Structure 1
Amino acid sequence: ARIRLMMRILTHKHSCVGVSVTYTVKKVLHVHLQLQVKLRVLT
């Protein structure tokens, strides 16, 4: 029972990390696209 609980906690932490990573990647891509648009407008 303890092993199962540990596995559940580990998978929960892993999913939380995965969500935060995808969020960060999306945010970085969004900012990168905005910068590209600004550069295109300036030049």
Structure 2
Amino acid sequence: MTPEEITRLQELKTAIHNCPEGFAMQLLGMPVLEEFLALSVKEKESN
């Protein structure tokens, strides 16, 4: 993963963690959650 991707993944993790339980999709939107999932998969594959 690039440094930019790592930084973005950390930002997304923080944003999701700060959402009330069950409201991440409503507050952040599906495109943000899709980006989070894509980066999470990429992180797992690189380890």
Give the TM-score band, short-chain normalised.
Answer: 0.3 to 0.5
- Higher normalized helix content (fraction of residues): 1
Choose 1 or 2 for highest CA Rg: 1
